[in-house]
Structure formats: structure tokens, C-alpha cells
Amino acid sequence: MKGIRQLAEHLDISIGTVSRALNGKPDVNEETRKRVLAAAEQLGYVANQSGRSLRQGTTNVIGLMIQSSRETVENSDNFFLTVTGGLQSVFSRHKLDLVMLPCPHDEDPYEYLKRMVARRIVDALIISETQRVDKRFDLLAKTKIPFVALGRSLSDGNASWIDLDFDGVVNSAVDRLVAHGHRRIAISAPSSDINLGFVFVEGYRRALERHGIIHDPALVIRAKSSEQGGYQVADELLRLEDRPTAVILIYELMAIGFYRRVMESGIIPGRDIAVVGFREAPRAKFLQPPLTCFRTSLHDLGVELAEILLSGMPAYSEEYPGKTRQTIWPLELMPGESDAFELGTKK
Amino acid sequence: MKGIRQLAEHLDISIGTVSRALNGKPDVNEETRKRVLAAAEQLGYVANQSGRSLRQGTTNVIGLMIQSSRETVENSDNFFLTVTGGLQSVFSRHKLDLVMLPCPHDEDPYEYLKRMVARRIVDALIISETQRVDKRFDLLAKTKIPFVALGRSLSDGNASWIDLDFDGVVNSAVDRLVAHGHRRIAISAPSSDINLGFVFVEGYRRALERHGIIHDPALVIRAKSSEQGGYQVADELLRLEDRPTAVILIYELMAIGFYRRVMESGIIPGRDIAVVGFREAPRAKFLQPPLTCFRTSLHDLGVELAEILLSGMPAYSEEYPGKTRQTIWPLELMPGESDAFELGTKK
DNA sequence: CTGAAAGCGCTTACAG
DNA sequence: CTGAAAGCGCTTACAG
């Protein structure tokens, strides 16, 4: 089966009627519509997307740009695949397909995005891994293509985004640690310019301040967001002359490497050092002692992300009224045993 | 900047000439070409893909279909993101863009693929997570769209594929364990119908046979391919009356849960039970004792996959001559300490 | 309710 | 070397 012309010939009616029947337009005889649908099904006809897109000016495809930078590849821990499920559950209601657009390592994300936008492969975009300063916001705003960011940025220009509640996490972690008697609390931060690192560290500083603890820059350890990075964080902490009694780790996987390194030195998390992880991950469940961390539903995050995006697209906006365009996504504390001791009572 | 028409008007030449200049056709005055390229750059003009595709009958996009089944989400461990890097390094040479097509959980992969093919969003496809019987091969063969599979299948119909050397891994693992005195060797297998599970278990049986060991079906434990699955495998093994002395795990993440469960019973891998893992993963490096496993370059696998695909596309085949269309991808043994003891010498 | 026709934005024979 | 025109496969006003 080639195109709509062949299908129309086969049915001995005009292509216009075939098109209307297939697209569920009114003013088509029910009998005719049935014949058309049956023939299309039988001959496996589906409209060529290029033809449709050209005519309608819309592709019915939404793009999710991911960086797959080496750092992310190591740690994203299928973050995106889970979010994707949530996105699709919304998009499928509108017959929108989701494609993931992986920006190659060796290509500049800005140039890559520019190309994707210009080619008009997608109707709307979701960008992720937002940087502190991220020119992609300006680009997308300028081209007027609907988009939403997974992650905030100084460059957001009042555009839509949704972001994890890093501030809430770090506040909760600091409160908890201070309540257990800790004053020297270290924190890990990503080595890249990804904005969440700044948000995380800023929240940490404010939380310390709130408790009247003086911030010591030496306690902010930059490392890759992977097991290896966690190992390195532990290594650096162990070398500090005035060693912290607690640490807050960003990214779930770091805990694995961190545990390993401190244990090599005979230091037990939850007894000799307090550890609070970030997002709950399957891996974390298998750490001993169990890691105190934060839970959230990435599927639901995807749903929200999709709805915010659609609320900004004229064709769908009325179905998603009153969406807040900038949302902080909450996480819930899951107390483990990795920070369950009172400072001073440790032997 | 809207379309080629506006650009042509701005330059006061015909759209035909603009198109030829932009597409690097010969027979364009160098002076004219420069003017066109400069104007396009300045005005940010890039050809609308729908227009091009419709005219040329090609989209210059390659699709990688991924299932993101719940099982995969948990364990794929960024397998795909790494392979993607290799794919892109080849495609980018031909100005082909790669998009990932995630099939939603609740949609039948066959129907999803059918839709993607019919819409002609991509010129060629890579499918993954091949099932033992996988109708997608027939579908793609019938529609004559170029494709290659990441994973073999009984349904391959002589189509192109590349697959990890499961047989080689399991042979090497069994040989090693037998050399250390083991005779009761268990193996884990995926709980789904993914073909690699069958290949793995069949290889295991033949390897045992080669050593004159009678195969005990009770030693093939089916479980999800995740940490949780590894935990469960250990749990089931511990319950066997005639407990195996060694186990071969499929999927890298299982080792984490496996270690945890046996250690809960005071059983130490590499001392009380021999463990051989599958693909080397960052996580595995942080297990103690270090896991014996197998290393391979997923980036290079992606390169090979891309080349096999292009060798089957008329427009590119002459640049990739003599490609073997069905390839077993090797893995290299990385000896750890998790199986480093002689049976009988354990205390 | 249906058909004939226009036109979306491109590329590419064909003339000149 | 350049321009005018056809046509890729659709959808959608417009007639009837």
C-alpha cells in the first residue's frame, strides 16, 4: 500500500473523502467511513507523516532532548526512561508521539537543538539537564516553539519548567543532621555547570545559616555524579584534618562508592559518619546500613511535565487550564539507618 | 525566517538556485553560493524537514526503538545511552540524525512499530530487546524498510543483527568454575521471553554437557533482571537442599542484590560461594569482593551496529562493503575475587 | 455527503 | 549557471 491515492482508487472514491473518513471528520457517510477504515486496516495504510506535516504545519511529535553526556550516562540511572513513561501516558491521549533526541557528546547542545528546531521534526520540546546559564532558553523563546524545561536555570526568561525540590531535600537533611547533633556537615556537588548543583549548594548554605553554623567551603566537595564520584568524595573527606561528622550526597549512585571508600577505612556509615543520600534508587536499597534518602515518583513527574507543556500549546491549552508554569517537585524523606545515631554517643 | 521562498526573495534569486546552493550541488556560481550560505546563516534558515522528506522520500532520520519495559527501566543501566554514542559517531558522518523511539509500557511493541513505520518518520530502524519469537522481524522485512536488530531471534528470517556473545560468556564462566572444582553450578535467567535468556541457558547446558555434568533444572533460577531479582535468586538458591557451590548471573545489576542476600546469611562470595557476573558495570566495581565479570565496549558495539545498518541501505552500502550481517559481539573476562577459591579448600 | 482543486515547502529534471 | 515548473502525499476550504 503506497499512499492515499491508491487507497482511494481501490475504494473508487476521492482522496478527500478517504482523508476525511480516516481523520474522523463529520459529514462523512457512516457506511463510507466503515469501508474506508476497513480497507485502510486491511491494506495497512497509514498517512505519510511528511505529507500531513507539510499540509498541517504540525508533526504530532514531541521531542525530549537528552544530553547523554558521559556524566549522565554513568549516573542517570534510567531517570529518563521512567519520566518518559509518564510523558507518554499524557501524550498518547492526544495521539502525540514522543521521541528522544540524544545530543551527541561531541556536538554543542545549543547547535544541536538549533538544528532540531529548524528542521521542524517536532512540534514542541522538552529540554533537560539545564545549565546555570543556558542559551537554549533564549533560542526556544525566540523561535516560539512551545517547550518546557526539566530543571530551572538563570536563563529561564520566565519560561515553563519543573524541577526537583533540591532546596527542600537539603533543608530536610540539614535539619535532621543538626537535630542529631551534627555541626560539621559536608555536601557533594556535581563537577559540571548543571544548575541543580548550584541550587543544591545554595540551599545547603542557607540551611546552615538558619542553624547558625558557619559555612566552611572545604566541606563542599565537587565530584562526578557516579559511584566513582562518591568514592572520590569519601576519599577527600577522609583526608580533611577536621573531618566532618555527616555528609549529604547528591545523586543516588554516589552513595555506593561512598560506602565502599569509608568502609575500606573501617568507618561505618550510620555509626561513625552520618550519610544522607538523594533520590531513592533500587541500588540504595541494597546498601547496608540502609541509606536515608528521598522518594519521589518520576512517572508522576513526567505526567506533570507533559501537562505543563500541553497547557502552553494553543491546540491543547484549554484541556489543561490553570497549570502552574514553574513547579517545584516534592520529594519525601525515607529515613534509613545511615544517619541514625546521636553525635557524641558513638563509640 | 519562514521558508526557502522568503530567503530567495531576500536574495532576489529563484528558490531553485537557493536550494542547489544550500545542498552543495555543482553548477552553482561560487559567488552565488557564498551569498546564499551567508544569508541562510544570518537569517537562521534551515530547510523544513517535512518539505524535504516529501520531495526526496527520505527523512535522514534513523530510529532506535526501545521498549523501556519495566524490567528494562530497572536494569538497562544506561546500556542504550552508551550504544547511542557509538551509533551517532557513524551517522553524523552522513548527516543522519538518530532519534530514540520509546514504546510505551501499555502499547504492544508490534503495533507501535507498525505505526512508526507507516508514518515514515524514519528511513531505517534499529530494534532491540528481541524476543525468542518476534513478529517485528516479519513486519520490517515485509515493509522493506532497512533495519538491524540488537539481539538475535528465532524469527530473524536471515535479517541483520548483532548480539552479545552470551554463549562465549557462559562457556568461559563454566570452564572457569569447573576448573576450580565446581560441579553444581546454578544460573540465573530472565523471567521474560527475551531471546537472550534462551541463548544464555542453552549455552549453559551445552557447557555443562561438555564437562559431563548432568543438568539439574532446579539450578536455573528465573528472576527479574535487577538488584531485586539478584536478591531473589540468592534467596531461592539458599533454600535448595542440595545447594550449588557456584552461580552465574545474567545482567550486571543482579550481583548487587545477590551479594546482599547471601551476606545476610553469613555467606561470603568468593569464599563460600563462587559468583560470576555478566557485563562489567560501574556498580560492580564497588562490590566487595570484586566481581568476576566480562568487559566489552558498548560504544564500539554501537559503531558496528550503525555500520551494519548503513551497509544495508542502498544510499550508503558502497561505503560499508563486506559487512557481516549477523555478528556475535565478544566480551572479555575480567577476573575478580568472587570466584577465586578452589572447591574443597574452603573452610 | 462527496469531489475537484489548491497548496503546505521543498528538490530536481528540464530549458535556456 | 539560473529560472520556471512539476510534483512528493497529504488536508481542507469550496462547490455542488
User: Nearest 5°: phi and psi at A62?
Assistant: -110, 135
Cis ω before B289 (30° cut-off from 0): yes
Among the residues of A136-226, which ranges form H helices?
136-143, 166-179, 195-210
In contact, B120 and B106? CB cutoff 8 Å:
no
Residue B237 Cα, gap to closest chain A Cα (Å): 18
What average pLDDT does the segment A218-229 reach? 89
Q: What's the pLDDT at A26?
A: 83
Please give the radius of gyration of chain A, using alpha carbons only, rounded to the nearest integer: 25
Res A269 pLDDT > 80: yes
Could you read off the pLDDT of A165-187 as tens digits, one per residue? Answer: 999 999 999 999 999 999 999 99
Chain A residue at shortest CA distance from B139: A44
Q: Do B89 and A104 make contact, defined as CB atoms within 8 angstroms?
A: yes
The ranges of chain B annotated as CATH 3.40.50.2300 are: 61-159+297-329, 166-296
Which segments of chain A belong to CATH 3.40.50.2300? Answer: 61-159+297-330, 166-295
β strands within B1-154, DSSP E: 61-66, 97-102, 124-128, 147-150
Condensed to tens digits (0 to 9), the pLDDT of residues B7-23 reads 898 989 999 999 999 98
Spatial neighbors of A124 by CB under 8 A, at least 6 apart, are A62, A63, A145, A146, A147, A309, A312, A313
CB pair distance less than 8 Å for A102 and B89: no
Per-residue confidence (pLDDT) for residue B327, from 0 to 100: 95
Lowest average pLDDT, out of A23-27, A330-334, B67-71, B319-323, goes to B67-71
Longest Cα–Cα distance of chain A, Å, equals: 89
Per-residue confidence (pLDDT) for residue A347, from 0 to 100: 39
Q: Which of A62-71, A119-128, B57-66, B289-298 has the lowest mean pLDDT?
A: A62-71
Interchain contact, B101 vs A101, CB within 8 Å: no
Task: Please answer whether residues A338 and A290 qualify as being in contact, where contact means their C-beta atoms are separated by less than 8 angstroms.
Answer: yes
Provide CB contacts within 8 A for B24, sequence distance 6+. none
Mean pLDDT confidence for A308-333: 92
Which of A11, A28, A22, A27 has the alpha carbon at shortest distance from A47? A22
Q: How much is the average pLDDT of B107-119? A: 89
Is CATH 1.10.260.40 what the domain over A4-47 is classified as, yes or no?
Answer: yes
The answer to whether residue B134 scores a pLDDT higher than 60 is yes
> Nearest protein residue to D8's C1' (by CA)?
B55
Does residue A74 have a pLDDT over 60? no
Strand C atom within 7 Å of A29 CB: yes
- B214, three cell numbers: 548432568
CA of residue A14 to C1' of nucleotide D11, angstroms: 13
Q: Angle A227-239/A254-264 helices, nearest 10 degrees?
A: 40
* Residue B48 banded pLDDT, cuts 50, 70, 90: confident
Q: How far is the CA of A11 from the C1' of D7 (A)?
A: 24
Query: Domain B166-296 falls in which CATH fold?
Result: Rossmann fold (3.40.50)
Using the structure block, give the residue that is written with the C-alpha cell 511535565: A305
Q: Which residues of chain A are within 8 Å of residue B88 when distances are taken between CB atoms?
A: 102, 104
Q: What pLDDT sits at residue B70?
A: 54
Straight-line distance from CA B54 to C1' C13, in Å? Answer: 17
pLDDT of residue B276: 95
Q: Where are the alpha helices (DSSP H) in A29-154?
A: 30-43, 49-56, 70-75, 79-91, 109-119, 136-143
Across the beta sheet with B274-279, the strand order is B220-223, B185-190, B246-248, B274-279, B292-295, B332-334
CA distance between the termini of chain A: 77
B254 pLDDT band, cuts 50/70/90, is confident
Q: For strand C, is any atom closer than 7 Å to the CB of B8?
A: no
Taking contacts as CB-CB distances below 8 angstroms, the residues of chain B near A77 are 77-78
Share of chain A above pLDDT 70, in %: 95
Residue A227 has pLDDT above 70, yes or no: yes
Is residue B73 classed as helix, strand or coil in its secondary structure?
helix
Q: What is the pLDDT of residue B76?
A: 53
CB neighbours of residue A269 within 10 Å: 27
Q: Average the pLDDT over B135-143 and give the result.
A: 91
Contact A286 B227 (CB under 8 A): yes
Share of chain B above pLDDT 70, in %: 95
Q: How far is the CA of B47 from the C1' of C2 (A)?
A: 36
Q: Over range A60-78, report the average pLDDT.
A: 72
> What's residue A284's pLDDT?
66
What phi, psi does B25 have (nearest 5°)? -75, 155
Class of domain A61-159+297-330: alpha beta
Confidence of residue B91 (pLDDT cuts 50, 70, 90): very high
Q: pLDDT band for A138, please (50, 70, 90 cuts).
A: very high
Q: Do B283 and A227 touch (CB under 8 A)?
A: yes
pLDDT, average across residues A83-90: 93
Interface test with A, best of B7, B45, B49 (most A CBs within 10 A): B49
Residue A169 identity: V
Residue A96 and residue A29: Cα distance in Å, rounded?
A: 27
Q: Which residue among B47, B59, B88 places its CB closest to the CB of A104? A: B88
Span B297-305, average pLDDT: 95
Q: Band of the pLDDT at B144, cuts 50, 70, 90? A: confident
Residue A100 CA and nucleotide C13 C1' are separated, in Å, by 37
Q: How far is CA A258 from CA A232, A267, A301, B160, in A?
A: 7, 11, 28, 43
**Exposed/middle/buried for residue A24 (C-beta within 10 Å: 0-12, 13-18, 19+):** exposed
In this structure, are residues A141 and A93 in contact, taking their beta carbons and an 8 Å threshold?
no
Q: What dihedral angle (degrees, nearest 10) is formed by the CA atoms of B309, B311, B314, B319?
A: 130
Q: What is the mean pLDDT of residues A251-276?
A: 91
C-alpha distance from A282 to closest chain B C-alpha (Å): 7
Backbone angles phi, psi at A63, to 5 degrees: -105, 140
Distance of alpha carbon A299 from alpha carbon B125, whole angstroms:
27
Closest partner CB to B46 (pick from A119, A228, A259): A119
Q: What's residue B346's pLDDT?
A: 43
Confidence of residue A69 (pLDDT cuts 50, 70, 90): low
Integer CA distances (angstroms), B3 to A34, A60, B52, in order: 39, 20, 12
A246-250, B58-62, B339-343: least confident range: B339-343
pLDDT of residue A128: 93
What's chain A's average pLDDT?
89
What is the rounded average pLDDT of the residues A54-61? 90
Alpha-carbon distances of B139 from B116, B136, B162, rounded to whole Å = 12, 5, 19
Mean predicted confidence (pLDDT) in A242-268: 91
CA–CA distance, A75 with A80 (Å, rounded to integer): 11
How many Å lie between the alpha carbon of B294 and the closest alpha carbon of chain A?
Answer: 18
* Predicted local confidence at residue A346, as pLDDT: 43
b/e map A311-334, b = 16+ CB within 10 Å: bbbeebeeebeebeeebbbebebb
Average per-residue pLDDT for chain B: 89
Q: CATH classification of A166-295, choosing from 1.25.60.10, 3.40.50.2300, 3.40.50.10860, 1.10.10.10? A: 3.40.50.2300
pLDDT band at B251 (very low <50, low <70, confident <90, very high): confident
Q: Would you place residue A281 in the very low, low, confident or very high pLDDT band (cuts 50, 70, 90)?
A: confident
Q: Look at strands B246-248 and A292-295 and give their pairing.
A: unpaired
CATH of B61-159+297-329, picked from 3.10.20.340, 3.30.420.40, 3.30.830.10, 3.40.50.2300, is: 3.40.50.2300
Residue pLDDT, tens place only, B219-236? 999 998 888 889 999 999
Residues B191, B192, B198, B203, Cα dihedral to 10°: -40
